[in-house]
Structure 1
Amino acid sequence: MTIQHPNLILKKGTMLDRTTIEEAIQGSDVVIETVGCVSEGTKLIIQAMKKFNVKRLIVVSTSNARDGKDLPDKKFTLLLGMTRGALKLLGLFHRQYRNAVYELRKIAGMVRNSDLDWTLVRVAGLTNKAKSNDVKSGYLGQGIISFSTSRADMADFLLQQVTDKTYIRQAPAISS
């Protein structure tokens, strides 16, 4: 699939290549990071943003990266516990899951501790369903966030964050 737009420049590289990251960020107004699980890459992105005075960072994260505005959520806690238990019982990907959650939490910490105008968009259960135009955003335990989000709705929400200042220096959870 080829994506084209006059304001879009595609760069080929890796999250661990400082030169590629700097070339991609120089002259940008906003950085949207959707890769996840590569904390060293996020560190390079933050460093490049500071170097080139780019202030706006939007990062896809996980609902496992809890936020101080979250309230106790029994359903969410139960679902996470069941997921962990099933993976452990089956012996499937338990270590990989644990490592991925660790990396995502580490990324969330780096982003939160930066002086950038960041937004951590916390998603759970990404699906390939069609765009619903009904994205819920807020914090866990408020009774508005469900357990799944379509990729199309997530993409739309990320793009809205480019100009919407509602969640600057915040970590909303989203679902659709």
Structure 2
Amino acid sequence: MKIALFGGTGPTGRYIIEEALRKGYKLSVYTRGAGKLSAFGDRIEVIVGDLNNREAIKACVTGADAVISALGPNKQKAQEKRPVMRGVRTIISVMEELSVRRLIQISTASYRDPKDGFDLRSRGLATMFKLLAHNAYDDIKATAELVSNSHLDWSLVRIPFLKDGPATAQVDVGWYGRTKLGMKLSRGNLAKFLVGQVTAKEFVRAAPGIADRS
């Protein structure tokens, strides 16, 4: 099986690539700079382009069985509003054209799943994030809404604060307000969960929250 990965050069990307290769997947990774992936040599296919380049995105998705998007707002000021949402919109359009149905997208508690209960802590953090980084909050929320309204077999994986570290397999997965979810998650555990969702069916068209088990 083949995974098309977007956001593979971000802080979590290396963990996702290593986990996918460990599981025996073929991998095409989309990036604006191929040099950032040179350590992986010929073990992965590298496609160079930006999120406005539909043809390059199509080249990355062609032949894939699933798409993992680790795209998120970066610290640089974007020249256009909602850059991640715009990029994911093009990815979804390409997936529909190529009949690739499985999309796994990283998100946050900014998006509410219908299965969520009331959870003061996650709502408080989302509100604080909205006040401190309104544009990033708006982009993440708009991206999640775009994905959830698509006709794809999508999953939104909602994450807390990320930290560098390997997979321990000790995670809690569920719904805010109904499942005990901590506020930290190792990038290794996130990568393991994301890659696992390529074939898993439990969270298709759902947005589980995930956190390290405390």
Structure 1 length-normalised TM: 0.86
> Which one-letter code corresponds to 1:30 in the other structure?
A
Flag the 1:14–1:60 CA change in 2: closer, same or farther, 3 A: same
The match for 2:134 among 82, 93, 98 is 98
Shift of 1:4: 5.4
Match of 1:57 in 2: 103
Shift of 1:10: 2.0
Match of 2:6 in 1: none
Shift of 1:80: 4.0
Structure 2 SS opposite 1:167: coil
Match status 1:127 vs 2:163: yes
Shift of 1:27: 1.2
Match of 2:119 in 1: 73
What are structure 1's unaligned runs of at least 5 residues? 89-93
Shift of 1:174: 0.4
Match status 1:155 vs 2:201: no
> Which one-letter code corresponds to 2:40 in the other structure?
I
Shift of 1:11: 1.4
Shift of 1:130: 3.1
The higher-RCO structure (CA 8 Å, 6+ apart) is 1
Flag the 1:5–1:161 CA change in 2: closer, same or farther, 3 A: farther
Match of 1:45 in 2: 91
* Contact 1:127/1:149 (8 A) holds in 2: yes
Shift of 1:136: 1.2
* Contact 1:145/1:173 (8 A) holds in 2: yes
CA–CA distance in 2 between the matches of 1:5 and 1:127? 28
Structure 2 length-normalised TM: 0.72
CA–CA distance in 1 between the matches of 2:205 and 2:180? 21
What are structure 2's unaligned runs of at least 5 residues? 1-36, 74-83
* Matched length: 165
CA–CA distance in 2 between the matches of 1:56 and 1:163? 9
> Which one-letter code corresponds to 1:52 in the other structure?
L
CA–CA distance in 1 between the matches of 2:92 and 2:124? 34
Percent sequence identity over matched residues? Answer: 33
CA–CA distance in 2 between the matches of 1:80 and 1:59? 18
Residue by residue, what CA displacement relative to the aligned partner does 1:68-102 show, whole Å, maximum 9, x if unpaired? 11111123234445x45xx96xxxxx3xx111111
CA–CA distance in 2 between the matches of 1:159 and 1:122? 15
> Which one-letter code corresponds to 2:153 in the other structure?
D
**Higher strand fraction (1 or 2):** 2
CA–CA distance in 1 between the matches of 2:186 and 2:104? 18
Shift of 1:12: 1.8
Match of 1:3 in 2: 40
Structure 2 SS opposite 1:59: strand
Match status 1:113 vs 2:159: no
CA–CA distance in 1 between the matches of 2:112 and 2:42? 35
Structure 2 SS opposite 1:141: coil
CA–CA distance in 1 between the matches of 2:105 and 2:178? 22
CA–CA distance in 1 between the matches of 2:119 and 2:85? 27
Residue by residue, what CA displacement relative to the aligned partner does 1:120-170 show, whole Å, maximum 9, x if unpaired? 000010111332211211110124211111111100000000011110000
CA–CA distance in 1 between the matches of 2:72 and 2:202? 23
